[in-house]
């Protein structure tokens, strides 16, 4: 639904952005999870980074938290497109853990309700984490990037908790 919503906006001129930016119409590696399945932590390998500086993309305005200002590089297509179901009683924790010293992963998430979220260091030790307190059922697009433009091996971590 969100992809259709943004397609309509782009056609009538409300959504503008540079050609090389995160593309909400594209899909990444696709997975389907229920809230109950994610109660057991899931880790997915990913190469963090990309060629698109978030700050240069007018189509992406994530809501940074109090100490993250929303920059870094990501790929054009999301790394992951995850279809969620059965999320009613859960909160969802999404994290990016690096496997390489000196790498600073970031997370960019576009939810099924077309909201962008960004994080740089909330997991500690330079790793990123976003907690969605009331995640909706539907598609979640996730980009795992890096703050400084480097590329490195990392893991996307998904886990639900009871509210």
Q: What is the pLDDT along the chain (163 residues), one digit of tens a residue?
A: 444 444 433 333 334 444 578 998 999 999 999 999 999 999 999 999 999 998 888 877 666 555 566 789 999 999 999 999 999 999 999 999 987 888 899 999 998 777 888 998 888 778 999 999 999 999 999 999 999 999 999 999 999 999 8
pLDDT of residue 57: 85
pLDDT of residue 64: 54
Q: Where are the domains of the chain?
A: 28-162
Q: What pairing do the DSSP bridges indicate for beta strands 73-74 and 52-53?
A: antiparallel
Sign of CA dihedral 109, 6, 112, 80: negative
pLDDT of residue 68: 61
* Tokens coding 23: 């593309």
Q: Which fold has domain 28-162?
A: Jelly Rolls (2.60.120)
State the Cα–Cα distance between residues 97 and 127, nearest whole angstrom: 5
pLDDT of residue 84: 97
State the Cα–Cα distance between residues 146 and 157, nearest whole angstrom: 16
∠ Cα 92 156 18 (to 5°)? 95
| Residue 45 main-chain phi, psi, to 5 deg | -70, 145
């Amino acid at each position: 639904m969100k992809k259709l919503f943004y397609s309509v906006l782009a056609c009538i001129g409300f959504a503008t952005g540079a050609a090389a930016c995160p593309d909400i119409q594209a899909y990444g590696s696709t997975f389907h999870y229920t809230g109950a399945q994610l109660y057991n932590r899931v880790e997915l390998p990913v190469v963090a980074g990309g060629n698109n500086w978030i700050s240069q993309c007018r189509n992406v305005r994530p809501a940074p938290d109090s100490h993250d200002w929303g920059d870094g590089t990501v790929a054009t297509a999301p790394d992951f497109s995850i279809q969620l179901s059965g999320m009613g009683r859960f909160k969802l924790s999404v994290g990016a853990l690096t496997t390489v010293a000196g790498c600073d992963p970031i997370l960019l998430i576009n939810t099924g309700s077309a909201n962008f979220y960004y994080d740089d260091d909330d997991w500690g030790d330079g790793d990123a984490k976003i907690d969605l307190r009331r995640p909706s059922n539907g598609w979640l697009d996730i980009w795992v990037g890096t703050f400084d433009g480097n590329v490195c091996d990392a893991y996307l971590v998904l886990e639900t908790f009871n509210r």
